[in-house]
Amino acid sequence: MAKGTNQKLKLVYLMKILLEKTDETHSITMPEIISSLEAYDITAERKSIYADMEALRTYGMDIIGEQKNKTYYYHVGNRQFELAELKLLVDSVQASKFITAKKSNELIKKIEGFASKYEAKQLQRQVFVTERIKTMNETIYYNVDKIHAAIGTNVKIKFQYFQWNVDKKMELRHGGEFYYISPWALTWDDENYYLIGFDSEANIIKHYRVDKMLKIELTEDKREGKEHFTQFDMAVYAKKMFGMFDGEEQTVKLEFENRFAGVVIDRFGKNVTVIKTDEEHFTVNVNVAVSGQFLAWVIALGDGSKIVGPESVVSRMRKEIERLNRIYL
């Protein structure tokens, strides 16, 4: 039997064939393996393929052979990712506002590469990227990479920050001046990616939407604010922020009807202290950034929720209700 031009790649292509054409519910026979190798201009005999499959098993591939009606069928069992895990990754990419539609489709295509061609079809059937609200900033990947590089090398970054105007055009904030920030962490909240950093000029921790950052550059200045992040807890920080809107951090006392216990635990965590006030109500004291978004969250819960204190926050809620009355009544 004459050897094909890709003979030295036989083991690689055998692995490719098994990974692409088999899974827990799809198998391949030896004649089909030989035919598939021939499609790559590789000739092989059964004996050599048996030896190659044994080598792949030694490498770590879970190649399973089963006999049915005098015919052996082969398939890959355990993979690097289970189908359920791949579906979870696809769902995460779909849900991420900070990834553009174009990049989402590219990523999902790569994720499909970890599955057989049959499982890849299942992943494709649940892809609904086109109609989702996605960022329009194509530099998001490079932004994240630069921020990680700055954190890794312990330097500040500078960047421009923008918002969308009524003409659907980018409008630079602060007149286009660069922000100089010490980056300390990245977090994903409310389907968006945020940089958590220290603003030396204001001497406070701030956060920025990564997809709204432009022209990120690493500086030669060392990061500042380490003392603020020594005991920093990202989960606690995220719980204080509502939709990542800034506000003055205060301890607020809230009263709820018992039916909202699940809502409160989902928002503030299972460790929140719940104090029963009567058979139908309970109160909690929570540290939050008091913003319009926080007030809107309380209002959205309806009659079953109320801000009890402090008076400054109660007064702010009254003013918010008056504002809404002026608009809608």
Residue 255 has a pLDDT of 94
pLDDT above 70: residue 4: no
Percent of the chain with pLDDT over 90: 47
Work out the number of other CB atoms within 10 angstroms of the CB of residue 271.
Answer: 6
CA atoms within 13 A on the CB side of 312: 7
Torsions phi, psi for 62 (to 5 deg): -90, 80
Residue 36 has a pLDDT of 95
**Residue owning tokens 């036989």:** 10
Arithmetic mean of pLDDT, 26-53: 94
* Sign, Cα dihedral of 280, 283, 288, 292: positive
Task: Give the distance, in angstroms, between the CA of residue 148 and the centroid of all CA atoms in the same chain.
Answer: 16
| CATH, domain range 7-76 | 1.10.10.10
Cα–Cα distance measured from residue 195 to residue 209, given in angstroms and rounded to the nearest whole number: 6
Cα–Cα distance measured from residue 175 to residue 242, given in angstroms and rounded to the nearest whole number: 27
Task: Give the distance, in angstroms, between the CA of residue 168 and the centroid of all CA atoms in the same chain.
Answer: 26
Arithmetic mean of pLDDT, 146-162: 94
With beta carbons less than 8 A apart as the criterion, state whether 24 and 63 touch. Answer: no
Cα–Cα distance measured from residue 167 to residue 83, given in angstroms and rounded to the nearest whole number: 43
Cα–Cα distance measured from residue 144 to residue 183, given in angstroms and rounded to the nearest whole number: 11
**Average model confidence (pLDDT) for the chain?**
86
With beta carbons less than 8 A apart as the criterion, state whether 31 and 4 touch. Answer: no
Helices (H), the chain: 10-21, 30-39, 46-59, 83-95, 101-112, 117-125, 140-153, 226-229, 234-240, 261-268, 292-300, 311-328
With beta carbons less than 8 A apart as the criterion, state whether 206 and 199 touch. Answer: yes
pLDDT above 70: residue 1: no
pLDDT above 90: residue 39: yes
Coil vs helix vs strand at 288: strand
- The single-letter code of the amino acid at 295 is L
| CATH, domain range 240-328 | 3.30.70
Residue 3 has a pLDDT of 67
pTM: 0.59
Structure tokens at 156: 């500040």
Coil vs helix vs strand at 215: strand
Percent of the chain with pLDDT over 70: 91
Structure tokens at 252: 């607020």
Per-residue pLDDT of 155-205, as tens digits, reads: 999 999 998 776 778 889 999 999 999 999 888 776 678 899 999 998 988
Give, rounded to a whole angstrom, the gap between the first and last alpha carbons of the chain: 89
- 2-19 as b/e: b if 16+ CB within 10 A: eebeeeeebbebbbebbb
- Own/partner contacts of 315-322, CB < 8 Å, gap of 24 or more, are 316/290, 320/292, 320/295
**Residue owning tokens 């900070």:** 98
Residues near 144 by Cβ (< 8 Å), separated by ≥ 6?
Answer: 186, 193, 210
Angle at 227 between CA 222 and CA 229, to 5 degrees: 90
Q: What is the maximum alpha-carbon separation in the chain?
A: 90
Residues in the chain: 329
CATH class of the domain comprising 146-231: mainly beta
Give, as one character, the DSSP assignment of residue 80.
S
**Residue owning tokens 């299942």:** 122
